[in-house]
Amino acid sequence: MNESPHPSARPRASEAGFSVVEGLIAAALLVFILIGVLPLFERSRLNLMQGNDSTQVANAVIDGTDRLYGMPFNSQITNVQPGTTQTQATDFWLLDENRWVVDMTPFPTDRAQFTRTTTVEQFQLTDLTDNGVLDTPLDGSAPTGTVHIKRITAQVVNARTALAGPSTTFQVITYKVH
C-alpha cells in the first residue's frame, strides 16, 4: 500500500527549517564580520586620499621647477635682485578654487591645501670647483658674466594629512647651467 503524507500534516521539528535562535546567531556572526571589514574600507579611503595628495604635490613641485627651468637663463623671473642672494616666491593651492594664487586675502573662506615656495639662487662655477659644494651664492648685483649656475628649489608643504599627523613636505632642487 502506498502511504502518502496527509497535506495538512505538520513536518517534524527537525525538518521545520531555521529557528529564531539560529537566525539570531547567524545575524550576530554577520554583524561581527562586517564590523571587522569596515575599518579596512576606511583605511583604504584614507590611503586613496594620501595617494591623490602625493600625486598633486609631486605635480606642483615639478610644475614649479619646470616653469622656471624653461625661462631664459637671465630672465627677470630667474634673476636675483641686487642686495639679496636669493629670490623667493610663495603661492598657495586653494581647495575650493582649484588653482594657485599668490595672495590668500581675496579668498577669506577658502583654505590653502598646498603652500609652494620657490627659491632661486645663483652661483659662480668656481664655487663648485673649489670644494665641490655650492655654498656661496652670488648677490643679485653680480655682473651677468660671472653667474654660471642657478639653483632652483621648489618646496611644497601639504597641510592636509590623514589621522591628524604632521604636514608633509616635498622638495626638488634643479640646477640650470649657463
Q: What is the rounded CA–CA span in Å between residue 120 and residue 113? A: 23
Q: Angle 29-30-32 (CA atoms, 0-180°, nearest 5)?
A: 65
Which letter does DSSP use for residue 130 in this model?
H
Q: What is the rounded CA–CA span in Å between residue 115 and residue 104? A: 11
23 within domain boundaries: no
Cell of 63: 610644475
Identity of the amino acid at 72: P
User: The domain containing residue 84 runs over which residues?
Assistant: 33-177
pLDDT for position 13: 56
pLDDT for position 59: 83
Burial (CB count <10 Å: 0-12, 13-18, 19+), residue 104: middle
11 within domain boundaries: no
Residues 154, 171: contact at Cβ < 8 Å? yes
13 within domain boundaries: no
117 within domain boundaries: yes
pLDDT digit string (tens) for 27-53? 999 998 988 888 888 888 888 887 887
pLDDT for position 27: 93
18 within domain boundaries: no
Map grid coordinates 497535506 to a residue. 7
Map grid coordinates 668656481 to a residue. 126
Spell out the per-residue pLDDT of the chain, length 178, in tens.
Answer: 555 555 566 656 556 677 888 889 999 999 989 888 888 888 888 888 878 877 887 888 888 788 888 888 888 888 899 999 999 989 998 888 888 888 888 888 888 888 899 999 999 988 888 888 898 899 989 887 888 899 999 888 887 665 556 677 888 888 888 8
pLDDT for position 139: 92
Burial (CB count <10 Å: 0-12, 13-18, 19+), residue 13: exposed
79 within domain boundaries: yes
pLDDT for position 2: 58
pLDDT for position 85: 92
pTM: predicted TM-score of the whole model, two decimal places: 0.68
Q: Residue 67: helix, strand or coil by DSSP?
A: helix
pLDDT for position 10: 63
Q: Residue 104: helix, strand or coil by DSSP?
A: coil
19 within domain boundaries: no
93 within domain boundaries: yes
pLDDT for position 15: 63
How many domains does the chain contain in total? 1
